[in-house]
Amino acid sequence: MQPDGLVYHPYKKCTASIQQLAYGGGADTVDEYVRLAETTARKCLHNFTAGIIGLFGDEYIRRPTPEDLERLLHIREERGFPGMIGSIDCMHWEWKNCMTAWKGMYSRGTGKPTIVLEAVVSYDLWIWHAFFGAPGTMNDLNILDRSPVFDDNINGNAPQVNFYVNGMEYHLGYYLTDDEKNSLFAKIQEAVRKDVERAFGVFQARFSVVKNPSKLWDKDKIENIMRACIILHNMIVEDERSSFTQYVVFEFQQGEDVDDTFSVNMPTNLGNTIDRRTSVRNRQAHQQLKNDLIENI
């Protein structure tokens, strides 16, 4: 047992927390290395993740700004997908200590209970969007229907993206998934969509806690761990980002006779909100964009 009133150095607490995130072991695995009891190490982890989210969440889990979008769209156009904002996919995190009453909701078939992370990733593996907490029984479409990924577009707060594909003009950016059947398009699409698969692989390699089954009981604490790991992952991406991913400002400066590429349309009434929701869900426009992308490639 620990003596009453014993105060540990913050470095020791942070070391214990990071070790649990990086290696995915239980709270009792740091006892010999940093001399912290299991209960203390677990509390340090929860306080550490809450502190990371509170201090850095607004900066490292944010929607792309117009400047970010301009850089992302430029790279995507060079890779053959103009107007593409990022790759979107889902990752399942096994919940070992899921409550018995919830197992039917979080288990698919005879599988183990899982919690789903939906993420949008850019070419440099930065995670721009993270929606975590959906039960493992839900498929990608169900999760997308609940996800806030299109909320800014529907509410009129997102920068408007204007681009041309195969001579057609479009005003909404898109996220790349894996549902295409055209052989040539699927081959090129797979190379670009691998960004999100690579991001999940790198993410789990850096933080084994999200690769191993979660042994926690509290779902909110599990979510804090996931969000903190995403923030730390984006910090590493920012620190290790190669020089070629940094765009030069003058390459994106437009001439006087060219309209601005981005603009923000604020919602004015309910009718506009409904119109924007309808445009986001427009199946004909979606199919037309797919056909134009195939022709463009």
Three-state DSSP state, 3 = coil
Burial label, 107 (beta-carbon count in 10 A; 0-12, 13-18, 19+):
middle
**Number of C-alpha atoms within 13 angstroms, CB side, residue 251?**
9
d(CA 233, CA 125): 9
pTM attached to this predicted model: 0.79
* Sign of the CA dihedral with 198 first, then 201, 204, and 207 last: negative
The whole-number pLDDT of residue 58 equals: 92
| pLDDT one-digit tens code per residue, 8-33 | 788 888 999 999 999 988 888 887 77
pLDDT over 60 (residue 156): yes
**H helices, E strands: number in the chain:** 11, 6
| pLDDT one-digit tens code per residue, 95-130 | 999 998 998 899 987 789 999 999 999 888 999 999
> Where do we find the tokens 């913050």?
10
The CA-CA-CA angle for residues 74, 144, 98, to 5°, reads 125
For helices 38-60 and 219-240, what crossing angle results, to 10°?
Answer: 60
How many other CB atoms sit within 10 Å of the CB of residue 242?
A: 7
% of the chain surpassing 70 pLDDT:
76
63 residue type, one letter: R
b/e sequence 191-226, b meaning 16+ C-beta within 10 Å:
ebbebbeebbeebbebbebbbbebebeebebbbbbb
Of 87-91, 131-135, 159-163, 225-229, the least confident? 159-163
d(CA 167, CA 83): 13
d(CA 156, CA 209): 37
pLDDT over 90 (residue 60): yes
The whole-number pLDDT of residue 297 equals: 57
The average confidence (pLDDT) of the chain is 79
| pLDDT one-digit tens code per residue, 250-279 | 344 443 443 344 444 444 555 577 777 777
d(CA 176, CA 120): 9
The whole-number pLDDT of residue 188 equals: 54
d(CA 219, CA 225): 10
d(CA 63, CA 134): 20
18: tokens are 């990071």
